[in-house]
Amino acid sequence: MSHKIFVLLFSILFISCSSKNYSHSKNYQFKSANGLPNYQDLNYWAAHPWKKDLSDSIPEALRYSFQYDSLADVFFVHPTTLTSLKDDRWNADIDDAEINAKTDYSPILYQASVFNEKTRVFAPRYRQAHIKSFYKKGVEADQALELAYTDVKTAFLFYLQNYNNGRPIIIASHSQGTKHTTRLLKEFFENKPLQKQLVCAYLLGLSVPVDYFTDINTCADPTATGCIISWRIFKSGSIEPEFIANENYNSIVVNPLSWATGTELISAQNNLGGVLKNFKKIVPGVVNAQIHNNILWSSKPDIPGKIFFTRTNYHIGDINLFYVNIRKNVEQRITAFLNSN
C-alpha cells in the first residue's frame, strides 16, 4: 500500500485532531486585549445560538426531516486541537486564528452539530492544553490542564448567568473536553440544585470512573435522564493499549447502538448512520458496537478501501461513527426529561 493511499483512507476518519493548515483562519482575526477569553463577545464561542456557526450544519440526508425546537441547551466542550509536535506551547492562545479555525472545521462541525435539532448549542473557546499534557506528566502538564479548566468553568458560569434561565441542560464533550466536563459535573451538578436541570451528560472519548460520582448514575436505557453516557472506541478483538490495561478502576461504558450497558454485540444494522470526512453524506451501518471491559469495541468502519485501514484506536470517531443514533437519542432523552418534570 502506498503512503498516499494510507493517508487518504486515514483522513476519512481523522477529523478532530488533524494538524493541517486551515485557510479559513483569515476569518478569525479577533484579538484579546489581555490574553483572556471574553465570553460577552461571541467571537469567544465556537458555537452559540445567537450567531451562525458550523454547529448549525446539517448533513443533506437529514435536512428533509429537520424540525428545529430549542427544547434544551447543550454545553459542549471540544477536544484537543492543539496537537502539533512542533508547537512548544502548553496552552493555546485564545485568539490563535489557525487553532480556532481548526476547532470549528473539525469538532464543532463533526461533533457539536449532532445536537443542533432539539437544542441550543453553546461551545466555548478555551485555552486548551496541548495534547502532550496527557502523556508528559508533571507540574507543567497539570498547570496547563488547570488553566484550560479555568476557562471552561468561566464560560459555564457566564452561560448560567446570562443564557440558561432555568432551562434543561445537556453537558457534552469529547477527549480533553471530557476531562473538563467530568470535573464541571462534580463541581456544579452533583448534589447541587442544578442537578435537577440535567437532562444527561455525553462524556465521550475519555474514561469516566464509575465511582467518580456518588449521586449521578450511568444511563442504563435510551430514555434515562439525569445520568451519564460514556464510551471510547477500539477495533473489535484488538489488544488493549497499555494505558487502558493499567487502569485500576471500572469505567462507565454505554453502547450507543442500544443505549444499554449489556455486553452483547449490537449489529451494525442498528447503526442509523455515521458522518465521515464528507460531512454531507450519511453512511448507514458503518460499524457495530459491543462493550468490552472498560471500552467499546466496534467493527472496522465499512468504508471504501477499508482493507487498508489498520488503526485499532477509533478515538477520533467516537461521535461521528454514531452520528444519527446520538442525534435521535438526544431527542429521546429531552422528551423523557420534559415528560417527567
What's the average model confidence in pLDDT over 317-325? 97
Residue 232's domain comprises 3-339
Cell numbers standing for residue 65:
426531516
pLDDT at residue 263, as a whole number: 97
98 with 22: CB under 8 angstroms?
A: yes
Residue 68 and residue 152: Cα distance in Å, rounded? 27
Residue 3: pLDDT band by 50, 70, 90 thresholds?
A: very low
As a whole number, the mean pLDDT across the chain is: 92
Q: How far is CA 143 from the centre of its chain?
A: 23
Average pLDDT estimate for 69-89: 95
Section 100-121 average pLDDT: 97
pLDDT of residue 4: 34
What is the SS3 assignment for 13-57? HCCCCCCCCCHHHHHCCCCCCCCCCCCCCHHHEEECCCCCCHHHC
Going by their DSSP bridges, the two strands 198-204 and 169-174 should be labelled as parallel
Q: Does 22 have pLDDT greater than 60?
A: no
pLDDT at residue 201 above 60? yes
How many residues are there in the chain? 341
pLDDT of residue 23: 63
Q: Is 246 helix (H, G, I), strand (E, B) or coil?
A: coil
What is the average per-residue pLDDT within 127-145? 96
Residues with Cβ within 8 Å of residue 27, at least 6 apart in sequence: 101
**1 — pLDDT class (breaks 50, 70, 90):** very low
| 83/147 Cα distance (integer angstroms) | 17
Closest CA to 142 of 156, 129, 125: 129
Amino acid 305: pLDDT: 77
Instruction: Give this prediction's pTM.
Output: 0.94
Please tell me the distance from the alpha carbon of residue 278 to that of residue 256, in angstroms, as a whole number.
22
Residue 206 pLDDT > 70: yes
Question: Rounded to an integer, what distance in angstroms lies between the CA atom of residue 274 and that of residue 297?
Answer: 16
Closest Cα partner for 254 from 292, 291, 286? 291
Question: Beta strands 72-77 and 198-204: pairing type?
Answer: unpaired
Q: 215-272, pLDDT tens digit by residue?
A: 999 999 999 999 999 999 999 999 888 888 888 899 999 999 999 999 999 999 999 9
Work out the end-to-end distance of the chain between its first and last CA atoms, rounded to an integer number of angstroms: 57
Range with the poorest average pLDDT among 2-11, 133-142, 247-256: 2-11
Does position 8 have pLDDT exceeding 60, yes or no? no
Tell me how far apart the alpha carbons of residues 257 and 40 are, in angstroms, rounded to a whole number.
39
DSSP 136: S
Q: Is 179 within 8 Å of 83 (Cβ atoms)? A: no
**What's the number of domains the chain is made of?**
1
Q: Which three cell numbers stand for residue 78?
A: 471540544
pLDDT top residue among 243 and 119: 119
pLDDT at position 191 over 80: yes
